[in-house]
Amino acid sequence: MPIVPCPLPHSPMPLILLLIQIPAVAILLSRLLKGASRLTPIQPQSATLDILGSVSVVVPTLNEAERISPLLAGLSKQSYELREVIVVDSNSVDGTPELVKTAQEKDPRFRVITDDPLPAGWVGRPWALHSGWMHISPASEWFLGMDADTVPHPGLIAGLVKTAISQGYDLVSLSPQFILKYPGESWLQPALLMTLLYRFDPAGVDTSNSERVMANGQCFLCRRSVLESIGGYTTASSSFCDDVTLARNIAASGFKVGFLDGAKVFKVRMYEGAIETWNEWGRSLDLKDASSPTQTWGDICLLTLVQALPLPIILSFIYLSPSYSPFSLIILGLNVFLLIIRFGMLFAIAPSYDFSQTRGKFLFWLSPFADTLAVLRIILSALQKPKKWRGRNYSDK
């Protein structure tokens, strides 16, 4: 019996989809494969005399009384490399300054200051960090910005500084270990995190292109002299993702910037539940304040093709396709491959999560089913500027 070639589909859309998906998959694989050569995660280390009193920590706060205590306790356990901890409070009304003053009674390295009224053109967080930077000791070699929701392990600062020195970094920030508690966030948060992992090189891989540098302001170490050379946080004054904006500006100025895995030296409890995670974290993950529109929407196109579409495409083939042509099988196979990668990534990121308090831990392993929703959140964030951020209104920005 003669073999009759299967005709191409009448619609050109499947062919178009395949032609744009294949390059997107190649880009994704080129990034993920770099993970094999990344630096190992930061380890806690003991302080040595060569870094004595070399670090000033600055913590911006606004009504953080419910979550700052683990940070204060963790910083008290750091050794003599930590010169001082300056908490810059923006007129909290929940007792945050009082908690810091109580910690100061046991550890004189702590002090609290109140920042000046927010100037025009500034976002609250970079203004508080800039205010703290202007008050650090001139004897400190390093500025370390930390957030109130972080939980530092003993040896964090020593390990971070020694790694920065040994690797020649002028600025280095760390990815944390995330504390998950509730079922909804266990399902949604890993999908949102994956939007970052798919767009940028893995933590521990040095990126030569300043426009692709990643950073995390929750643990953000920079040489004081470098901050002085660029005017502190002034170049990120209006950014809602000031950490990435500042890191990219510093990298563009010729300094060496690193983003490393810090899951073994500090944890973070960012948001309570799926709704808060969606509202608060989701509206900054597009990184539009640190990126050009071309880069932002290019990244969104990539995420759509390799993260948002594979599962819907597979389901549509299962439920809507009465028969499979060789051409359609190629599309199906490619998207099954992408879904396999996505599930495989769960094993790679599992050490970045603390499940000790998690309810519904199994939902973490089902997070690929939230990928389409996660990419939609990035798109929605890219289409609008925040009107409210961490207790401040920016409706006139």
pLDDT (0 to 100) of residue 4? 45
Strands 82-89 and 110-114: parallel
User: DSSP states of 200-258 as a string?
Assistant: SPPTT---S-GGG----TTEEEEEHHHHHHTTTTGGGTT-TTHHHHHHHHHHHTT--EE
Q: What is the reported pLDDT for 381?
A: 94
Residues 284 and 375 in one domain: no
Residue that is last in its domain, among 244, 270, 290: 290
**299 and 270 belong to one structural domain:** no
- Point out the residues of the chain with pLDDT beneath 50: 1-9, 397
Query: 105 and 179, same structural domain?
Result: yes
Question: 3-state SS string over 93-134?
Answer: CCCHHHHHHHHHHHCCCEEEEECCCCCCCCCHHHHHHHHHHC
Show the tokens assigned to 391.
Answer: 């207790």
Identify whether residues 135 and 272 lie together within a single domain: yes
For residue 124, what are the contacts with CB-CB under 8 A and spacing of at least 6?
A: 60, 62, 90, 118, 389, 390, 391, 392
User: Which residue, among 55, 397, 26, 391, has the nearest Cα to 220 in the 3D structure?
Assistant: 55
pLDDT of residue 395: 64
The answer to the question of residue 297 being in a domain is yes
Within this chain, do residues 142 and 178 fall inside the same structural domain, yes or no?
Answer: yes
Q: In total, how many domains does the chain have?
A: 2
Q: What is the pLDDT of residue 7?
A: 45
> Is residue 122 one of the residues assigned to a domain?
yes
What is the rounded distance in angstroms from the CA atom of residue 232 to the CA atom of residue 249?
11
In a domain, 91, yes or no: yes
Q: Is 371 in the same domain as 310?
A: yes
pLDDT at res. 6:
45
Task: State residue 144's pLDDT score.
Answer: 98
Same-domain pairing of 68 and 130: yes
Does one domain contain both 128 and 255? yes
On whether residue 54 sits in a domain, the answer given is yes
CATH code for the domain in which residue 253 is found = 3.90.550.10
Residues 158 and 272 in one domain: yes
- In a shared domain, residues 89 and 143: yes
pLDDT of residue 390: 67
Domain end, chosen from 264, 290, 316, is at: 290
DSSP character string of 372-383: HHHHHHHHHHHT
Q: Is residue 44 part of a domain?
A: no
User: What distance in Å separates the CA atoms of residue 203 and residue 361, rounded to the nearest whole number?
Assistant: 24
In a domain, residue 10? The reply is: no
Are 327 and 255 in a shared domain? no
Whether residue 347 lies inside any domain: the answer is: yes
Place of tokens 């999560």: 353
User: What per-residue confidence (pLDDT) applies to 321?
Assistant: 65
CA 328 to each of CA 63, 311, 323, 334: distance values in angstroms, whole numbers, following the listed order: 55, 15, 9, 10
- Whole-number pLDDT of residue 15: 76
Establish if 279 belongs to a structural domain.
Answer: yes
Q: Among 290, 320, 351, which residue terminates a domain?
A: 290
Strand 150-152 to strand 266-268: parallel, antiparallel, or no bridges (unpaired)? antiparallel
Structure tokens at 64: 């953080």
Which residue range(s) make up the domain with 360? Answer: 16-36+293-384
Give yes or no: residues 319 and 284 share one domain: no
Does residue 49 sit in helix, strand or coil?
Answer: helix
